[in-house]
Amino acid sequence: MTVRERLRPWWALLRWPFWLGLGLLIGFGGPYTWVLNQRVAQRFGDLEFSQPTRVYARPLALTAGTPMNAATLRQELRFADYTPSQDARVPGTWNENGDSFVIASRGYADPAGGELPRRVHVTLADGQVRGLFDLTARRPLAAWHLDPARIATLYGAHQEEREVVHLPQLPPLLVNGLQAVEDRDFNSHIGVDFSGIARALLADVRSGSLAQGGSTLTQQLVRNLFLDRNRTLVRKLNEALISVLITAHYSRGRILDAYMNEVYLGQQGGQAIHGFAAGSRYWFGRPLAALRPQEIALLVGLVRGPSYYDPRRYPERALQRRNLVLHEFHETGLITRPMLAYALAAPLGVTPVPRLPRDRFPAFMDLVRRQLQQDFSAQRLRAGALAVYTTLDPAAQLDAEDALDETLASFGSRGAALQGAVVVTDARSGAVRALVGGRDAGVPGFNRALDARRQIGSTIKPFAYLVALAQPQQWSLAS
């Protein structure tokens, strides 16, 4: 009996189910794919990432002769989230030796132009700045500005912390390292990596657990942008189909660009941290360009699970994951063996607390919000993505808060029930440098500096007397 003759009985049984299934696939799957393709093209083609509105204090202007002492400069640096360092070579750090400071600035851009990143030597003497020297360009500076401190974040329709960046702005080690760890065949697969799924299944069978999922970067992006987290067969099929459609329509660079800005990397209260740029500031207090290999490895490692590998809560897990990523970097030729050894010996290096200020000075921010509501529509404010530069002087603000506390305390027990307010303005420009709305300066509440209305008291008496005396037939001074 031939093979054909052996298969004939089976084909007789399966023929109608086969043609029925094929008909359903073409009749339903074709239109479904077409509709899904239209939605994907519209959603991904017009993709815009939400960004919050960030509010900044004024940049600190320094020139020879500017009043300044070591304590105040130190306070300004800490307020701008600079950290002490032995050599002050990483942007966002400083080194102090008496009245001599070396500051590695991060640079910034504002409506007035801003400053480029540089290392600056600041010398103080007799309560003022004696000199400025640019260690990067090896020349004296006539004037220099320290980048402004971020004092608040205003979230609009989306509670997402994000700083949009594009591939040319990202460190090559981050771009290549992410692919080496999460999706080595990113540049060749069709959105779904069947060989990767097979490798993941084999690894899961060997380990006896579901440790690896085999998802490509495109699938991870689709999951974040289009789908929920339910582990159902329908969701997985949609995820695979959308990934194939996106890969067919858009370049790898466009997909990777979107992934870099959408990936979830942590949570601060109600704010979700999305994108590597925001993740860098959240975990390290520095921009991506200032990160070292071991810090980039930690960010890449957090992609697998920011909560599980949280370096502040579970440092041992995070360290193990970071070191695993570093070994992946070395195996794929991204870092040398000496670099690997140095990075493995380095601490995690995350900041003790998150660097995303919500509202440092509620009373001053009341003034800012009122001004924004005058200048922008409610729809524009909900959209976010604004950078607001204010006139706040952080040192003056802190001094004003301390002055109010000391004044109220000076009344002893009588001052326990007293309240007060402080407004400090620039005598020349009228700019508001500090504003305190009550004795609990850090707690939102009634803003006495803006909303308190003084009782008129005896101020009204001359006007009341004038009206009475204008009627001599009824009233006199004796009355």
**Residues with a known catalytic role:** 182, 458
Q: How far apart are CA 278 and CA 266, in angstroms?
A: 10
Q: Give the residue among 189, 300, 164 at the shortest CA–CA distance from 243.
A: 189
Both tokens assigned to 310 = 């949280």
User: What residue has token string 């909303």?
Assistant: 451
Taking the CA atoms of the chain, what radius of gyration do you get in angstroms? Answer: 31
| Dihedral (Cα; 189, 195, 197, 199), 10-degree rounding | -140
Q: How far apart are CA 380 and CA 205, in angstroms?
A: 52
Q: How far apart are CA 433 and CA 424, in angstroms?
A: 5
Count of other CB atoms within 10 angstroms of residue 100: 15
User: What residue has token string 């466009």?
Assistant: 254
Strand 387-389 and strand 150-154: the pairing is unpaired
User: What residue has token string 């300004």?
Assistant: 76
Is residue 152 within 8 Å of 360, Cβ to Cβ?
Answer: yes
Q: How far apart are CA 161 and CA 465, in angstroms?
A: 61
b/e 243-263 (16+ beta carbons within 10 angstroms → b): bbbbbeebeeeebbbbbbbbb
Count of other CB atoms within 10 angstroms of residue 310: 17
